[in-house]
Structures are given as C-alpha cells and as structure tokens.
Amino acid sequence: MSSHGDPIPMIARKSAGLKGEAHVPGDKSISHRSLILGAMAVGETKVTGLLEGQDVLDTAKAMRAFGAEVEKRGDTWHVHGVGVGGFAEPGNVIDCGNSGTGVRLIMGAMATTPITATFTGDASLNSRPMARVTDPLALFGARAYGRKGGRLPMTIVGAEAAIPVRYATPVPSAQVKSAVLLAGLNAPGETVVIEREATRDHSERMLTGFGATVTTEETSEGRVITLTGQPELKPQTIIVPRDPSSAAFPVCAALITEGSDVLVPNIGLNPTRAGLFFTLQDMGADLTFENMREEGGEPVADLRAKFSPNLKGIEVPAERAASMIDEYPVLSVVAAFASGKTHMPGVKELRVKESDRIDAMATGLRASGVEVDEGEDWWTVHGRGFGDVPGGATVQSHLDHRIAMSFLVMGLATEAPVRVDDGGPIATSFPIFETLMTGLGADLGREA
C-alpha cells in the first residue's frame, strides 16, 4: 500500500529516444534544512525552488507545530523563525510521513530545548531504526521513549540544561551528523562531530550561511566538525539547486534508452553528493557537465546525458558510497545494461533505508532476468549488455520511492515491460516524475 493512500500500480515499456530538458525538483536535503534553519533563525527566511514533495511538506507542517510561521506566497516560501531555543511544544503528534531525513533532523533541532514532542510516520518510517540519532542526543541530556528497537512512534523529551557533546559517528550518516549539529545549536560551548568518512556537507555550509560558527578539520581521527553553540541565526534568502538524486533518474534513463539526448539543467554538484555521475563516467557513460558555476555556496552545472550502448561494469570505490548512497538502486539498473560485473562494496546503509534496498533491487533484478550476488554490505550486478535485459517482472516497491522509480527507468529499455506494484511513494520526493519522464518521451504510466 502507498504511504499516502491506495496503491498506484505503474508500468514502463521499451521506449524510443528520450529528448529535451528535464527540470527536476529542488534538492531535498537543502529543502529540509532551509525550513528547519529558517525556523531557528530570528526573522524571515525566503526560499525559492523548494522541493514540494510530501517529505518536505511534512517538515513544513512540523515547523509550524513548533511555532514557526511557514507559508507559500507565489513561488516563494516564507519562514518566520522563532530563534535558537525558541521552539514551542507541539500540541499534537508530529507525522513525518516517509521521511527519515525530516524526522531525524527535527529530533536534533528540538532535543536541546526543554519541550516534549512525539513523532510518528508511515509504515516504512516506523520500521526504521532511530537509535542512531537518539543515542547521541541522549548525550546532550535528551530522553527518548519509543517502540522496541528504537522505532517510531517515539517521544523525545528535550534536555532541561543541555551540555555540549563530542561524538564520533559509528557509521557514515549525514542525518546523524546533522541531528547532532542542530542539537548543538542550543547547547553552550562547542559541539564536535567526528566522521571517519566524509558525508554530504549541506548542514555545515548552511549553518555557516545562517551565521553559525562552524569549522572543519581533517585529522588522523577523521573529519572533525566543530560548532559553537547558542548563536543567533540570521534569516537568509535561499535559492534551492535542483536535486542530484532526482536528476539521477532522467540521466540514467537516457543512458540506457536508445537514441536519447537529455539535458538536466541547474543540478547541484556538491562533491559529497555527486558520486553517481563520476561512477557513470567511469563506466563509459556519455555524460558531460556544461555551464559549471557556483550558486549559494554550492557548485552547480547542467548535465547532458546521451544513450551509451557500450557501458562497462566496474568496481565502485567503497569510499564513494557516502556521496551516492541514495543512487545505488538506479545505478544497479544501469549496471544491468553494462557488459561485465559491477561490484558495489561498503553499502551496508542501504539495508536500513526506506526499505532494504539491496534485497528489494536484487529481487526485482533477478525477476527481470539479471544475475545478482549480495552480502551484508555489498552487492554485484552481472550486466547483460544493451539489448539483452529481458524484463517482464512485476516488482514490489516496498513503500520506497527510489525502488519504484528505478524499476520504471529499467522498463524503458528492457525487452518486456516492467511493472511496479505501487508508484504512490514517488510523490514523497519527486511528485512530477511521471509527467517529466513522459514529457521526454518515456512510455510509462499508471495501470488501471
């Protein structure tokens, strides 16, 4: 069943070349943070290009529940913040829908204010572990009461007198790092996060933009991020770049669909997010960066992707995993159309996303005639080459938007159509996916 209603079965059929410009939605990571940091600033933050998928809209509702004014006027979102430590206690349960990013960042933002809030989500989110965030938040003095295994619904009791924290993240996770840094805003002194592997750094960049003092140092321990607590955040005017994770779908579809030439403009190319595109180039993809520039402190470019019939399987560097963790499902689809094996190590995090993404993709790929090997933190796709991927499967999305979109992309180039049991979750992150892809010439849509 879909996260927000009845199941929406979808089908994708072998398509002629995809052509045109793909204007994908705004970056989801930056959209979440724009709303949360705007709510913690003093004054009015203006945001254009915000991703208006359900995940981000749920974060907007949450910020209202904590006392910020959040409204859309024209094409601009206006956030009147309450200041660091100024959150009010919500009157009702906070429903974060399908969004792990939203719930974990919001928990961090409120954990050092002496208020209590209860969080829930859809069936997928309520099955995901939250201890990875609540454990470090407890060091500040916050308390968490949830279901067995540290799962939602969960009540967070904010710290009465927060203390600063020094925390080494046990696994690479931008969500955990960001939750700790947001909690550190309302703690005195310096809060320090140490990560052995660099993860996406939107929080550090945006905290600095809002006026917080954040320093980053590469040491023998790893990357050490230090935040000075209790700043007065200053409101900002933010232009959200387009989401590289959303761009992955039209880009990958163009690479495997014969005759394609697609331009995806204004894509954020933060080096902690762009690993997929470099991996595709390593596989021999005809993928180029045009009009390289910087906007709002983030590198941006236009991506041009053309049909690439001679893709080769590769060993994806494990150290690249953090920069492309959400893109492995659609990468595995591209790998099916490459010649030879594509091995993807260091991806244990995929086991605890909206679904177990390794299992979900491996099951669907095998049902579509593609051989897959897998372990706890790795998987290997045995590519069949262009024109030799059978398809014909009906796959389960497991309430996971990226699983649904990945198999619909696959169906554009398989010999037989590919069906997805429920495309409803796509709306959480990419509400215009269907219209954008069909506008390029993709033969996909809903089944009665």
Q: How far does CA 130 lie from the centroid of its chain?
A: 17
Strand, coil or helix: 446: strand
- Residue pair 262/20 in contact by the 8 Å Cβ criterion: yes
> Active-site residue among 122, 326, 400, 422?
326
Sign of CA dihedral 18, 333, 24, 94: positive
Provide the annotated binding site for phosphoenolpyruvate: 28, 100, 128, 175, 357, 402
Strand, coil or helix: 68: coil
- Scanning 187-317, the segments in alpha helix (DSSP H) are 202-209, 244-256, 275-282
- Residue pair 142/158 in contact by the 8 Å Cβ criterion: yes
- Residue pair 73/98 in contact by the 8 Å Cβ criterion: no
Q: Which residues contact 74 (CB under 8 A, 6 or more apart)?
A: none
Q: Is 18 exposed, middle or buried (0-12, 13-18, 19+ CB in 10 A)?
A: buried
Provide the annotated binding site for 3-phosphoshikimate: 28-29, 33, 173, 175, 326, 353
| Helices then strands, each counted (H, E), the chain | 12, 23
Q: How far does CA 308 lie from the centroid of its chain?
A: 26
Whether 443 is a known active-site residue: answer: no
Sign of CA dihedral 162, 164, 170, 172: positive
Tokens of 175: 């969500």
Residue by residue, DSSP assigns 78-139 as EEEEE-TT-PPPPSS-EE-TT-HHHHHHHHHHHTTSS-EEEEE--TTGGGS--HHHHHHHHH
- Residue pair 251/29 in contact by the 8 Å Cβ criterion: no
C-alpha 411/C-alpha 6 separation (Å) is: 23
Provide the annotated binding site: 28-29, 33, 100, 128, 173, 175, 326, 353, 357, 402
Active site positions, annotated: 326
